[in-house]
Amino acid sequence: MVQGTVNWNTQLDKKWLQEYVDDWVAFYQKATEEGEVASYIPILAEANPNHLGIAIHGKNGMRICSGDVNTTFTIQSISKVISFMVACMERGVSYVLDRVDVEPTGEAFNSIMHLEMKSLNKPFNPFVNAGALTVTSMLEGKTSKEKLAPLLKLLEKIIGYRPKINQAVFKSENDTSARNRAIGYYLVETGFLESDLEVTLETYFKQCSIEVTVDDLARIGLILANDGEDPDSDEEIIPRQIARITKALMLTCGMYDASGKFATYVGIPAKSGVSGGIVAVAPPRVRNAPFPFIEGCGIGVFGPALESRGNSIAGMKLLKHIASQWDLSIF
Ligand code: GLU
């Protein structure tokens, strides 16, 4: 791999950037050996652990991608970003945040422990399963189809086509859902669930089973990087306040219980999912330095071999490297 400091000033041309990214992906692909694919949802264990792909989207259609970019995978927990934004758009930010907190837990995403440890019993944040189920229960509609429709519509607006729900993944998760059901029953008992439990679970498992590619994740990242607007058409896709809160939550709670480390060592909002996807958001930098994507970019990564917290092991390393090379940190 190319070592040392690069003078990006002379290297901003797309061909050069492509060569660097290809080089980095080839290098970090070896790190996939250090992780393991998720198996608690049985069908996810069928993923190829050696896959690694990345897409980086910027303004004016600038796109760099490398590695396994054509593989589709299920969005899993990254859907919590979408459901949170839709719930805020439908119900208003205060309504949602009155019912779900914005604090990191430092515990696993499906931990039950904290639910009983805080006086209010309010789920800690929208990205742990307790918070995500609560958010999903707030979505308008009585059936899972009605609740999912605005999620799919928002995604369609962002990625340019209507994504599919992978029925096999939905079934696999639904068949092995004891822990999420336990969380759901607890939320019913404490009065946080606003819809029927079965409808909420079905909606949640289906939103997690939406199929995406790294390019789709990069598009989501790009819109968030631009505070909710499409940087090329200037169309508002997500209200600015909601986009900003979402980015704050991604930075503090997006990478499971490695969120602090990711914020410290990479320094950009991101959200990962157990299928190995990561969406990362690099907002425009105010400093006038000769770095690629100075006007901001969205990054989508896929690498199903995970580290112990549930994040793509090679994906995290690749993002850390790119963020340091291109000075992407927001700090
Ligand atoms: N559907 C998964 C679950 O709830 C999502 C987990 C994740 O990606 O963090 O267990």
Most informative mutation of 40, 75, 105, 110 for ligand 1 (most atoms within 8 A of CB): 110
% residues pLDDT > 70 (the chain): 94
Q: What is the pLDDT of residues 7-56, one digit of tens each?
A: 777 667 888 899 999 999 999 999 999 999 999 999 999 999 999 999 99
Q: Does residue 213 carry a pLDDT above 90? A: yes
pTM (global) more than 0.85: yes
What is d(CA 91, CA 140) in angstroms, rounded to the nearest whole number? 8
Among 173, 187, 210, 217, say which to mutate for ligand 1: greatest number of ligand atoms within 8 Å of CB: 173
Catalytic residue among 37, 80, 214, 275: 80
Token pair, residue 300, equals 């989508």
Residue with tokens 């060569």: 19
Helix or strand holding residue 173 (H, E):
helix 167-175
Atom of ligand 1 nearest to the CA of 310: 9
Handedness of CA 312, 308, 130, 174 (dihedral sign): positive
Distance, in Å, from the CA atom of 323 to the CA atom of 8, rounded to the nearest integer, reads 13
pLDDT at 1: 65
Q: How far is CA 49 from CA 44, 104, 303, in A?
A: 10, 29, 7
**pLDDT for 119:** 52
Dump pLDDT digits (tens) for 188-199: 988 999 999 999
274 catalytic, yes or no? yes
Give the pLDDT score at 114: 66
Highest average pLDDT, of 100-104, 187-191, 310-314, comes from 310-314
Q: Which of 11-15, 65-69, 157-161, 327-331 has the lowest mean pLDDT?
A: 11-15
Rounded percentage of the chain residues whose pLDDT exceeds 90? 84
* The two structure tokens encoding residue 270: 């991101």
